[in-house]
Every structure is written in C-alpha cells, then in structure tokens.
Amino acid sequence: MPWFVKIETGIVDKATFDRHVPAHLEYIKKLNAQGNLAHSGYWAELGGGMLLFEAANLAEAQAIVQADPLIANHCVKYQLHEWRLVAGNLLT
C-alpha cells in the first residue's frame, strides 16, 4: 500500500487542542488495528505535527484524514501528500 503523510499546524489554543488528543490517539490505535500502520507525533518546537500512514489510494487517505478527531474538531490545518520511500526501512 502507498504511504501518506498529513503535515499539520495547530490553529486553536492548547487547552482546546489537548481536549481532542485522547480521541486522536484512540483513532491512531484503530488505524493500526485496521492495518494502516499509522505513526503520529508533533514537532519538538510545538505548533504542529505529522501523521504517517498507509492507505490503498488518495481517496482512502483523504477519508482517513477527515475522520481524524483533530481535523473533525477543527484543531489543525493540514496538507496531505503521498510519500514515496526511496531508502530506509520503516518499522511497524
């Protein structure tokens, strides 16, 4: 399956954002249980983060992103890209 990356920037205050983090983490667990090999994290300097995951195609990737609680609750703006691994080995 192709890899996709959602690069995000926070657009709400930290308290609002933090209210939706538990649901986002549960969503990541669900994606992993479904075989999407999702990896989520934030930038050390704060203000945004990234979700790396597998999906069958761009349409499925867009649906996955739209269902993310951070998107559904308007906590971040994002860009979605298909990512093509050139070198290295992703661990699951």
- Give how many domains the chain has, as a whole number: 1
CA distance 78 to 8: 4
Which CATH number goes with the domain that contains 11?
3.30.70.1060
Q: 90 lies in a domain?
A: no
User: What confidence score (pLDDT) does residue 33 get?
Assistant: 97
Q: 92 lies in a domain?
A: no
State the pTM of this model. Answer: 0.89
Q: 88 lies in a domain?
A: no
Q: pLDDT tens for residues 12-55?
A: 999 999 999 999 999 999 999 999 999 999 998 877 899 999 99
pLDDT over 90 percentage in the chain:
82
Name the residue range of residue 33's domain.
Answer: 3-83
CB 73 within 8 A of CB 22: no
